[in-house]
A and B are shown apart, each in its own frame.
Chain A
Amino acid sequence: MKPLWDIFCSVVDNYGDIGVTWRLARQLVAEHGQAVRLWVDDLHSLARLCPEVDPDVAQQVQRGVEVRRWALPWQPVEPGDVVIEAFACHLPGEFAAAMTAKSRPPLWLNLEYLSAEDWVGGCHGLPSFQSNGLQKFFFFPGFTSETGGLLREQGLIERRRAFQADPAAQAAFLQSIGVQRRPGARLISLFAYENAALGSWLEALAAGTQPTQLLVPEGRVLRDLERWLSTCGLAAHDQYKRGALHVQVIPFVEQDAYDRLLWCCDFNAVRGEDSFVRAQWAGRPMLWHIYRQEENAHWLKLDAFLALYRKALPPAAGEALGALWHAWNAEEDMGPAWQGLQREWQVLAEHAEHWCREQAAQTDIAARLVLFYTNWL
Chain B
Amino acid sequence: MKTAQEFRAGQVAIINGAPWVIQKAEFNKSGRNAAVVKMKLKNLLNGSATETVFKADDKLEPVILERKEVTYSYFADPLYVFMDADFNQYEIEKDDLEGVLTFIEDGMTDVCEAVFYNDKVISVELPTTIVREIVYTEPSVRGDTSGKVMKTARLKNGAELQVSAFCEIGDSIEIDTRTGEYKSRVKA
Chain A contact residues, CB within 8 Å of chain B? 12, 87-88, 110, 112-115, 117, 119, 122-123, 126-131, 133, 138, 140, 273, 291, 293-295, 297, 300-301
Q: Give A291 to B34 CA distance when docked, in angstroms.
A: 12
A-side contacts of B118, CB under 8 Å: none
B-side contacts of A300, CB under 8 Å: 29
Does any Cβ of A come within 8 Å of B107's Cβ?
no
Q: Which of A114, A138, A294, A297 contacts B53 (CB 8 A)?
A: A138
In the complex, what's the smallest C-beta–C-beta distance from A110 to chain B, in angstroms? 7
Q: Which of B16, B38, B58 contacts A123 (CB 8 A)?
A: B38
The answer on a CB contact under 8 Å between A129 and B31 is: no
B-side contacts of A112, CB under 8 Å: 30-31, 36
Q: A88-B55, A128-B54, A128-B58 are in contact. Are A123 and B36 (CB under 8 A)?
A: yes
B-side contacts of A301, CB under 8 Å: 31
The majority secondary structure among interface residues of chain A is: loop
Chain B contact residues, CB within 8 Å of chain A? 15-16, 26, 28-34, 36, 38, 50-55, 58-59
Not counting A110-B55, A138-B36, a sample of 19 additional A-B residue pairs whose C-beta atoms are within 8 angstroms of each other reads A87-B32, A88-B30, A88-B55, A112-B36, A113-B30, A114-B31, A123-B28, A123-B38, A126-B51, A126-B53, A128-B54, A128-B55, A128-B58, A129-B15, A129-B52, A131-B59, A273-B31, A293-B31, A297-B29
Q: Give A112 to B32 CA distance when docked, in angstroms.
A: 10
Which chain B residue has the least Cβ–Cβ distance from A88? B34
The majority secondary structure among interface residues of chain B is: strand
Cβ-Cβ contact count across A and B, 8 Å cutoff: 62
Q: Give A128 to B33 CA distance when docked, in angstroms.
A: 20
Q: Which of B16, B31, B33, B51 contacts A133 (CB 8 A)?
A: B16
B-side contacts of A130, CB under 8 Å: 58
The answer on a CB contact under 8 Å between A113 and B51 is: no
The answer on a CB contact under 8 Å between B52 and A119 is: no
Q: Which of B15, B32, B36, B55 contacts A293 (CB 8 A)?
A: B32
- List, sorted by A's number, 29 A–B pairs whose CB atoms are closer than 8 Å: A87-B34, A110-B55, A112-B31, A112-B36, A113-B30, A113-B31, A114-B31, A115-B31, A119-B26, A119-B38, A122-B38, A123-B28, A126-B52, A126-B53, A127-B50, A127-B53, A128-B58, A129-B16, A131-B59, A133-B16, A138-B53, A140-B30, A291-B32, A293-B31, A293-B33, A294-B33, A295-B29, A297-B33, A301-B31
Which chain B residue has the least Cβ–Cβ distance from A296? B29
Q: Give A300 to B30 CA distance when docked, in angstroms.
A: 11
